[in-house]
Amino acid sequence: MSERSRIVGSALGNLRILCLLLLIICPVSAAFAHPAEPLSPTNIFAPASTPADSIFGLSLFVLAVTAAVFVTVFTLLVYAVVKYRRKAGDDGHEPPQVYGSNQVELAWTVIPVLIVGALFLATARVIADIQAAAPPPNSIEVVAVGHQYWWEFRYPGLKVVTANELHVPASDPAHPTPTFIKLLSADTDHSFWVPRLAGKTDLIPNHPNSMWIDPHETGLYLGQCAQYCGTQHAKMLLRVYVQTREEFDRWIQAQQQPAHVSPPQQAKTGLAGDPADTVAQGRRVFEKTACINCHAVAGSANADGRFGPDLTHLMSRDTIAAGAAPNTPENLRLWIKDPSAIKPGSLMPAMGLNDQDLNALTAYLETLR
């Protein structure tokens, strides 16, 4: 390659670098620049609760500092590469050999140390804010237990047990009602991550952790397990429903009731025959086969298994299998028939039921509102 084409090549090379950078920066900043149109329901830059907010503020500071460092050093690099390239017609003598410079080296030691100091102090403040918070008297207390591959949520003070979908009241900044979550695990390590509400905290067996959230706005917040816990780690999804205080109280009330078999829904399962019979048959299947070894239904004396999710109010949830599928009769039936069709590797075994039992069981479960 000729001397000139090499220089042009390298100048072009630098230009290419700049273009690439612009290519990256433009869509990214455009993407983040529209708060009205959510880019993503799990965007860490769209906080909706104080811990996430504190982190967001800190991250802006940290990003600003690191961006400034980057721009400075990158500019110097580009300048050096352009200015000190070997020019055409060079005489071939070696340039002056410089072995070091105490002043310069001192400067570029001291300045980074100061930057590190500033970053550390800002960080330490936020760590203290988030970790040292003590639960105020009207906080909601939740115990979250991680399982392979679903979430158990208990409200010990309110005597509610549910799975996968967490309901909390919105917290008014003037009279905060945060939710404090104690994090335990029944098997391997998991991690509770709902980015818009807080940073993640791990659920580790024999190592209780705790975190808190105080969402300001009602709505549905999404997340998922963030610590590899086995085959179906990817489908251990989280749904946090932030509700008004009234809605939340009503939900709690409903969850506190034992299961009652409501009047059977017509033609839901497309079965001929008396629906009430089908439901009763389904309940028999549920209580006489292996289901009760893993699942509990409050109000049903035999069904008190703890290995799988509590099914007392199964129909009050929007999804099944920890968010892997929407909660429809077809999906429910498919899940019971063959869990690996929805979530291969999940720990629920295929129950090997015949079609009739399967339909009956689904009909029964459909009544657990």
Q: Which is nearer to another protein, 100 or 263 (CB)?
A: 100
Please, what is the minimum distance in Å from the beta carbon of residue 203 to another protein?
10
Q: Which is nearer to another protein, 204 or 351 (CB)?
A: 204
Structure tokens at 167: 């309901």
| Cα–Cα distance, 126 to 61 (Å, whole number) | 12
Q: Which is nearer to another protein, 119 or 351 (CB)?
A: 119
Please, what is the minimum distance in Å from the beta carbon of residue 177 to another protein?
22
Cα of 284 vs its chain's centroid, Å? 37
Q: Which is nearer to another protein, 213 or 298 (CB)?
A: 213
Q: Which is nearer to another protein, 45 or 247 (CB)?
A: 45
Please, what is the minimum distance in Å from the beta carbon of residue 337 to another protein?
19
Structure tokens at 319: 């999804």
3-state SS class at 84: coil
| Cα–Cα distance, 124 to 130 (Å, whole number) | 10
| Cα–Cα distance, 186 to 318 (Å, whole number) | 24
What separation in angstroms does the CA of 173 have from each of 128, 169, 250?
Answer: 19, 12, 22
| Cα–Cα distance, 83 to 60 (Å, whole number) | 34
Please, what is the minimum distance in Å from the beta carbon of residue 280 to another protein?
36
| Cα–Cα distance, 215 to 238 (Å, whole number) | 15
Q: Which is nearer to another protein, 126 or 261 (CB)?
A: 126
Look at residues 326, 336, 343 and name the one whose alpha carbon lies nearest to residue 363: 336
Please, what is the minimum distance in Å from the beta carbon of residue 263 to another protein?
35
Please, what is the minimum distance in Å from the beta carbon of residue 176 to another protein?
19
Q: Which is nearer to another protein, 87 or 175 (CB)?
A: 87
Structure tokens at 328: 């429809």
> Which one-letter DSSP state was computed for residue 97?
P
Q: Which is nearer to another protein, 203 or 368 (CB)?
A: 203
Please, what is the minimum distance in Å from the beta carbon of residue 271 to another protein?
31
Give the position of tokens 């610590």.
Answer: 227
Q: Is the peptide bond before 149 cis (omega within 30 degrees of 0)?
A: yes
The CB density around residue 160, as the number of other CB atoms within 10 Å, is: 21
Please, what is the minimum distance in Å from the beta carbon of residue 191 to another protein?
6
| Cα–Cα distance, 280 to 244 (Å, whole number) | 37
Q: Which is nearer to another protein, 18 or 276 (CB)?
A: 18
Please, what is the minimum distance in Å from the beta carbon of residue 129 to another protein?
8
Please, what is the minimum distance in Å from the beta carbon of residue 94 to another protein?
5
Q: Which is nearer to another protein, 189 or 287 (CB)?
A: 189
| Cα–Cα distance, 190 to 61 (Å, whole number) | 30
Provide the terminal-to-terminal Cα distance of the chain, rounded to the nearest Å: 76
Structure tokens at 229: 């816990």
What separation in angstroms does the CA of 58 have from each of 55, 62, 71, 226?
Answer: 5, 6, 20, 22
Structure tokens at 278: 């089908």
Evaluate whether 210 touches 140 at the Cβ level (below 8 Å). Answer: no
